[in-house]
Amino acid sequence: MTAIAIVYHSGYGHTQRQAEAVAEGVNAVPGAKALLVPVAEAEANEAALNAADAIIFGAPTYMGSVSAPFKTFMDWSSKAWFGQAWKDKLAAGFTNSASQSGDKFNTLVQLATYAAQHGMLWVSLGLLPGNNNSKGSPDDLNRLGGFLGALAQSNADEGPDKGPSRSDLATARHLGQRVAEQAKLRGTLKQAA
């Protein structure tokens, strides 16, 4: 079994929907299983995080960076960092915010830098940008045009029943599936070695 942990924070439920879509993508890969871990439950899931083949990190963009509860999780994980417990695991990231940009890129850079501190191997989104030419549409996969991870946008005046959009959730599913496929492949290679 390929175990993929998804550690996320969501203040108002929008990023949680994105996290659930990432989990759907993971679970679509035969032999892979997603474990959704809200940051408040990270400590209780410490052993599972250390045992996971990959960890996908997700946070809403608040004030142009990861939310404070997610940063608390990052600092808590310095214990794993000391022992390099997550070294060579796959990592990836996603973020959601109200504005189309909203400085989400900075949040992904923060997540990728954090993964590098742990010695993890970053998996990019692996999609060409959508919605960037005359034939494009907001329904396109990767409509917000990210490369480093999965981006989503949720209107500030609507609840998580309305946003992120279907295309953003499909983009999140793609990321989960991509990480699970790569983690599974690495498991097969390790077994063969």
Give the nearest distance from C-beta 53 to ligand FMN in angstroms.
26
- 13 scored as a contact of ligand FMN (CB under 6 A): yes
CA distance 56 to 170: 16
CA distance 22 to 13: 14
The residues, any chain, with a CB within 8 Å of residue 173's CB and separated by 6 or more, are: 21, 22, 24, 25, 28
Nearest to 52 by CA among 19, 80, 82: 80
Only one of the segments 28-36, 47-55, 72-80, 97-105 lies at the binding site for ligand FMN (rule: CB under 6 A); that segment is 97-105
Question: Which residue do the tokens 């032999």 mark?
Answer: 31
Selected binder of ligand FMN within 2, 142, 154, 177 (CB under 6 A)? 154
Selected binder of ligand FMN within 156, 166, 185, 188 (CB under 6 A)? 156
Q: Which is nearer to ligand FMN, 9 or 118 (CB)?
A: 9
Give the nearest distance from C-beta 17 to ligand FMN in angstroms.
8
Q: Which is nearer to ligand FMN, 10 or 177 (CB)?
A: 10
Buried-exposed string 113-128: b where 16+ CB fall within 10 A, e elsewhere: ebbeebebbbbebebe
- 64 scored as a contact of ligand FMN (CB under 6 A): yes
Give the nearest distance from C-beta 115 to ligand FMN in angstroms.
20
Give the nearest distance from C-beta 127 to ligand FMN in angstroms.
21
Tokens of residue 182, six digits: 């790569």
Q: Which is nearer to ligand FMN, 8 or 86 (CB)?
A: 8
